[in-house]
Amino acid sequence: MKPSELRDLCGRRLGREEVERAVALLLDAEIPEEEKIAFLTDLEERGATGREAAFFAAAFRARAVPLGFSGHWEGKPLLDCCGTGGGGLNLCNVSTGTMFVLAAAGIPVVKHGNRGISKVSGSADVLEAMGIPIELSPEAAERSLRELGMTYLHAPDYHPAFRTLGPLRKKLAARGRKTIFHLLGPLLNPARPSAQVVGVFSRAHLALIEEALRLGGCRRTAVVFGTDAQGRALGELGIDGEAEVRGLALQGVREALTVFARRRGYAGSRLEEALVGSARESAARLRAVFEGREKGLVRGLLVANAAVGLIAGGYPGSFAEALDAVEDLLDRGMAAEKLRAAERLAPDLRRASRF
């Protein structure tokens, strides 16, 4: 392959074979860095399509560390709850908290994630602060899923190809450039979950991520966009502002959230109440919600997003009913017990995990 091949792919829509070739070139140490930067910059400036994102995700998943499970677990759809990130908002780790809630509800969760890049606490950071191991080998990940009904897949461990791209991504970030990689996170889960809840920071990404998930084989997709009352994008479903869910045929989401927030006392909360300064603070806030010691906006956001996950995982009721079901689950301490079970299993998982 000639170095100019990557530049030759600029300026046009890419098919599956062209994306596969582009990925091979991006990972090739012989290709000049400036060629790679020119390609990624062009792709970002013209905007990737859902099809292109799906093709890039497929190419990287083919290079991922294999697992012994995929799609379903014990007859139930595996579910991931992983956002695109990139918003720079230091929100308490709602999607990571959702993992515990949904697992407590009997939905098998395989969460794919990483450390914080544009925020102080990513999913890996907050789990570590909770005392939960993140570097799980495929065997340990499967044991966690079997014994807890949930597991965590640390993206850098399962996608070694991305280590090659790390310095390049940092260089582009220093230039104020984003790349397609910030959209790929939710699409790269090597367990190929059949259900996903994905939070996005841009309404324009709703259709893109939905299409990419569908083309990637995900059967129950829920892509959510939300804002606070001042219009600030959350990367999650909000309480007081805009609320949109794509993929699942959910009706009256905004109306149900309005009634729910007023009835439960979440209405009128300020976004600042849900912001954190560190992974340790985020972990403490989630633990307080699980244990019933915190009833404010963090809990409200957790309930709203977990309700979407509940329906994506097969819950047969309405969105309004799912909201009440999650509230009841928290009131009964089921998420707190799931966290305690994870803490008990943590030493065994650490000993079993050797990459």
Do 295 and 258 share a structural domain? Answer: yes
Q: Is there a single domain that holds both residue 27 and residue 83?
A: no
Q: Spell out where the chain has E strands.
A: 72-73, 76-77, 79-81, 109-113, 150-154, 195-199, 220-226, 243-246
Within a domain: 255: yes
User: Do 321 and 251 fall within a single domain?
Assistant: yes
Give the DSSP H/E element, type plus range, for residue 53: helix 50-61
Q: Which two tokens stand for residue 284?
A: 């403490």
The contacts of residue 343 (CB under 8 Å, 6+ apart) are: 130, 131, 132
Looking at the domain assignment, is residue 63 inside a domain? no
pLDDT at 35 > cutoff 50: yes
Q: Are residues 104 and 222 in the same domain?
A: yes
Say whether both 26 and 114 belong to one domain.
no
What is the domain extent for residue 23?
4-47
Task: Choose the weakest-confidence range: 33-47, 58-72, 127-141.
Answer: 33-47
Number of domains composing the chain: 2
Query: Does residue 129 lie within any of the structural domains?
Result: yes
10 Rama sector, left if φ>0, alpha if ψ -120 to 50, beta otherwise: beta
Run of H or E residues at 97: helix 94-104
Q: What is the 3-state secondary structure (H, E, C) of 104-149?
A: HCCCCEEEEECCCCCCCCCHHHHHHHHCCCCCCCHHHHHHHHHHHC
Q: What pairs with residue 198 in β-bridges?
A: 223
Q: How confident is the model at residue 1 (pLDDT cuts 50, 70, 90)?
A: very low
Contacts of 20 (CB under 8 A, 6+ apart): 55, 59
Whether 3 has a pLDDT exceeding 60, the answer reads no
According to DSSP, residue 165 is labeled: H
Residue 157 has pLDDT above 50, yes or no: yes
Q: Is residue 345 part of a domain?
A: yes
Asked if residue 12 and residue 154 are part of one domain, the reply reads no
Q: Are residues 27 and 141 in the same domain?
A: no
Does the pLDDT value for residue 355 go beyond 80? no
Do the beta carbons of residue 299 and residue 98 sit within 8 Å?
Answer: no
In a domain, 165, yes or no: no
H or E element, residue 95: helix 94-104
Using DSSP's 3-state secondary structure scheme, residue 354 falls into coil
Are 312 and 264 in the same domain?
yes
45 pLDDT band (50/70/90 cuts)?
very high
Q: Distance (Å, rounded) from C-alpha 199 to C-alpha 205? A: 10
Beta bridge partners of 72: 70, 77
Q: Note whether 324 and 285 are same-domain residues.
A: yes
pLDDT bucket at 182, cuts 50 / 70 / 90: confident
Q: DSSP string of 288-323? A: HHHTTS--SHHHHHHHHHHHHHHHHTT--S-HHHHH
For residues 131 and 213, state if they share a domain: yes
What is the arithmetic mean of pLDDT over 225-239? Answer: 93
Res. 354 pLDDT band, cuts 50 70 90: low
Burial class (CB in 10 A: 0-12, 13-18, 19+), 262: exposed
Q: Is the pTM of this model over 0.85?
A: yes
> How do residues 250-295 score in pLDDT, each as one tens digit?
888 999 999 999 999 998 899 999 999 999 999 999 999 999 999 9
Residue 305 within a domain: yes
* Phi and psi at residue 161, to the nearest 5°: -60, -30
* Rounded mean pLDDT, 319-348: 97
* Cα 326 to Cα 176: distance, rounded to the nearest angstrom: 40
Residue 206 and residue 123 in one domain: yes
- Same domain membership, residue 31 and residue 99: no
CA distance 193 to 73: 9
CATH of the domain at 264: 3.40.1030.10
Q: How far does Cα 262 stand from its chain's mean position? A: 28
Distance CA 218, CA 77 (A): 10
Asked whether residue 304 is assigned to any structural domain, the reply reads: yes
Tally of residues, the chain: 355
Domain assignment present for residue 66? The answer is: no
